[in-house]
Amino acid sequence: MKKGDKEALSILRMANAAIKNAQIEKMGALTDEDVRGVIRRQVKQLQDALLDFERGGRADLVEKSNAEIALLSSYLPAQMSAEDVRAKVEEILETLGPKETLDAGKAMGVVMKELKGKADGNVVREIVNQMLHAKT
């Protein structure tokens, strides 16, 4: 507020409202992980909207959405790199057993439980599918 950045203030107010709504839904206080989950949902919604704006040729909204995503992402922990995700997925798949018997859904469930909030789900899904199909 003191900086006079009205756009950032608007984005943070929107996030604060989403957090308050989640708190009302839960009927109690939110943990730090709950708040990060709300912010992650906000970022995911903005990313989905960004794709629509790009398809529609709305450069002004693309730029605005990118700024909003960057601001909200700064409040989230850093995401794992693709190499780190690949190593972790390989480790988890080794503990699950032979890859021939694994289906992607079961593997994704176990991997996402382990990597929740640390890696983007789309990246994880792509890596799991590559690793399962490479071994069969």
Residue ranges per domain, the chain? 6-73, 82-135
**Fold adopted by 6-73:** Hypothetical Protein Yqey; Chain: A; domain1 (1.10.1510)
What was the pLDDT predicted at 100? Answer: 59
What was the pLDDT predicted at 118? Answer: 81
Q: Which residue has the higher pLDDT, 95 or 1?
A: 95
What was the pLDDT predicted at 25? Answer: 93
Specify the CATH number for 82-135; select among 1.10.1070, 2.60.40, 3.10.450, 1.10.10. 1.10.10
**Which amino acid, residue 85?**
V
Rounded CA separation 124/108 (Å): 8
pLDDT tens track for 10-43: 999 999 999 999 999 999 899 988 999 899 999 9
What was the pLDDT predicted at 1? Answer: 64
